[in-house]
Copies of this chain bind each other. A is one copy, B any other.
Amino acid sequence: MTDPEPTVGRRVTIKDVARAAGVGVVSVSRALNDQPGVSNETRERIRETARSLGYRPNRHARFLKLSSSRSIALMMKGIDNPFFQQMLETVENAARERDYLLSVIKVPHYADEVDEAIMLVDEEAVAGLIFLGGNFTHQPGDLARLQVPFVLSTIGQLEGIDPGSYSSVAVDDFAESRRATQYLLGLGHRRIALLGVGLRDSSVGMLRRRGYQAALADAGSPSDDGLVRGLDLNGRSPYSFEYGYQLMTRLLAERPDVTGIFAVADVIAIGALKAALDHGLRVPQDLSIVGFDGIQVGQYVHPSLTTLVQPALEIAELTCQILFDSISGAPARQELLQGELRLGGTAGPPRRGDLVGPR
């Protein structure tokens, strides 16, 4: 299917290309690496020349510094979640800028990501690991079994684990969930459901549930376990449009008195919005919805989604920065970032009859 390895006399070098094209080697490098500083015309001529000479930048170009230890692995729990997919691009950029190749590993929702990583890690195979997403509930001993630098990204802070033993980057899940819930409370809502987290969830889910509960408590609003809605998933991912649709459909059947929804992920919020509209409700007149994440498509549903935006690019960049610092020997670091409430059209005051009177 492909040509056999050509019989090589002397390998064509970048200097040969420069000489034949009548330019300097810097221009050749710029032209072949899509960097600015050469005109389109010159770029085209250099590429033509390189092609005609059969120039292959093997063993010389940036990528060919790659040995297998020039790989980092992205362990994705939630590879089907647009929020994490959005971060993939930034992580790939960061890896490439540093001449690392990015390997992507899907971690099934039900699987133990540390076990998965340990099966992968051979000091010769990857130089570092990023754990992206998922409910991360591990003991100190688990993490110590990882023999390469790693960063937990968007996984929240670990409780009861020595901060010197791991690095992490996440939004402040507790504070931002409280803020999202406070926003609904401020609009006048009292019967606010939490979608996507059950009462027994741990890790990120737990932090977001606590933020929701704290906001209700601050407002003197009674906590109502019937409005906290997770779902038995049988190992399927909790972060999906379909899951949001199902949760909302069931909630509307069982608790038609609800006026506000805080969904712990935009995919859940978008699924819930669709269920509400299919059910004949007007959003936000009959029901308000606030999401969490800030995925792109949230601005293209109708009405646009009101949501707590995680600084995804910043999280991805900081994750990579810390990982590469660790590979160079820097100590562990935890970073907790702020989010931002983005107002769309899915949240407004509750129906008049639902406004809270004197209690």
Contact = CB atoms under 8 A, between A and B. Distances in A.
Of A58, A59, A142, which is in contact with the most chain B CB atoms at under 10 Å from its CB? A58
Given A1-B332, A92-B105, A296-B241, A34 B111 contact: yes
A179 B64 CA distance: 45
Contact of A302 (B51, B101, B301): B301
Nearest to A86: B80
Main secondary structure of the interface of A (DSSP, over half): mixed
Contacts of A54: 145
Interface residues of A, number: 82
Interface stretch (A115-123, A286-294, A308-316): A115-123
B56 A118 contact: yes
Interface of A: 1-3, 5, 32, 34, 47, 51, 54, 56-59, 61-64, 66-68, 71, 73, 79-80, 82, 85-86, 88-89, 92-93, 96, 101-106, 108, 110-112, 115, 118-123, 125, 141-142, 144-150, 164-167, 241, 245, 270-271, 273-274, 277-278, 296-297, 299-302, 304, 326, 330-332
Given A5-B147, A102-B103, 4 more contacts: A47-B115, A79-B92, A241-B299, A270-B300
